[in-house]
């Protein structure tokens, strides 16, 4: 019993004491952090892309809904997405979360919104 207590004290004493960590201990900690990071980074990237994809689909649906409202008011669909400004809060038409280079385009005969960026399929 006395031996175990001494051993436990020894471990905590070493951590709390001024001796610090050995190189091997630091390397083990760094290796564990590296393994965790290599597991976390790809899944975080995947989750971010999946969220952007869903936001883009929601944008398309919102623009199409605005196009239908425009149709009710004007008896025709808008020629371009910019014509729908009045149907969004603060006149801001939603932008593709993947970047401003990807424009939403609208079919003026059906009100269907097409999108120039190919959505990344989330698995
Ligand atoms: Zn998009």
Distance 44 CA to ligand 1 centre (A): 19
Distance 50 CA to ligand 1 centre (A): 11
What's the number of domains the chain is made of?
1
Distance 18 CA to ligand 1 centre (A): 55
Question: Which whole-number Å values give the CA distances from 101 to 92, 95, 117, in the listed order?
Answer: 16, 9, 9
**Per-residue pLDDT at 108 exceeds 50:** yes
H-helix or E-strand containing 106? strand 104-106
50: in domain:
yes
Higher pLDDT, 52 or 9: 52
* Contact between residue 114 and residue 103 where contact means Cβ atoms under 8 Å apart: no
6: in domain:
no
Work out the average pLDDT over 45-56. 94
Distance 16 CA to ligand 1 centre (A): 53
* Contact between residue 54 and residue 98 where contact means Cβ atoms under 8 Å apart: no
Q: How far apart are CA 50 and CA 83, in angstroms?
A: 29
* Contact between residue 115 and residue 105 where contact means Cβ atoms under 8 Å apart: yes
What residues contact 82, with CB distance under 8 A and at least 6 apart?
93
Q: How far apart are CA 116 and CA 59, in angstroms?
A: 13
Q: What is the pTM of this model?
A: 0.68
Distance 48 CA to ligand 1 centre (A): 13
122: in domain:
no
Distance 117 CA to ligand 1 centre (A): 6
54: in domain:
yes
95: in domain:
yes
Q: How far apart are CA 15 and CA 9, in angstroms?
A: 10
**pLDDT tens-place string over residues 10-50:** 555 555 556 788 999 999 999 999 999 999 999 999 999 99
12: in domain:
no
Average pLDDT, the chain: 85
Distance 115 CA to ligand 1 centre (A): 7
**pLDDT tens-place string over residues 90-102:** 999 999 999 877 8
Higher pLDDT, 8 or 110: 110
Residue numbers of the domain that contains 80: 26-115
Distance 4 CA to ligand 1 centre (A): 63
73: in domain:
yes
| CA-closest candidate to residue 65, choices 104, 18, 22 | 104
- Range with the lowest mean pLDDT among 27-36, 62-71, 108-117? 108-117
47: in domain:
yes
């Amino acid at each position: 019993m006395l031996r175990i207590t001494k051993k436990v004290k020894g471990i905590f004493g070493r951590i709390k004491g001024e001796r610090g960590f050995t190189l091997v201990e630091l390397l083990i900690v760094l290796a564990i952090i590296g393994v965790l990071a290599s597991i976390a980074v790809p899944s975080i990237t995947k989750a971010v892309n999946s969220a952007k994809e869903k936001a883009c689909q929601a944008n398309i649906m919102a623009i199409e809904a605005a196009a239908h409202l425009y149709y009710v008011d004007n008896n025709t669909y808008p020629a371009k997405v910019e014509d729908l400004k009045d149907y969004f809060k603060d006149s801001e038409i939603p932008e593709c979360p993947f970047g401003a280079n990807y424009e939403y385009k609208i079919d003026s005969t059906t009100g269907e919104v097409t999108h120039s960026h190919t959505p990344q399929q989330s698995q």
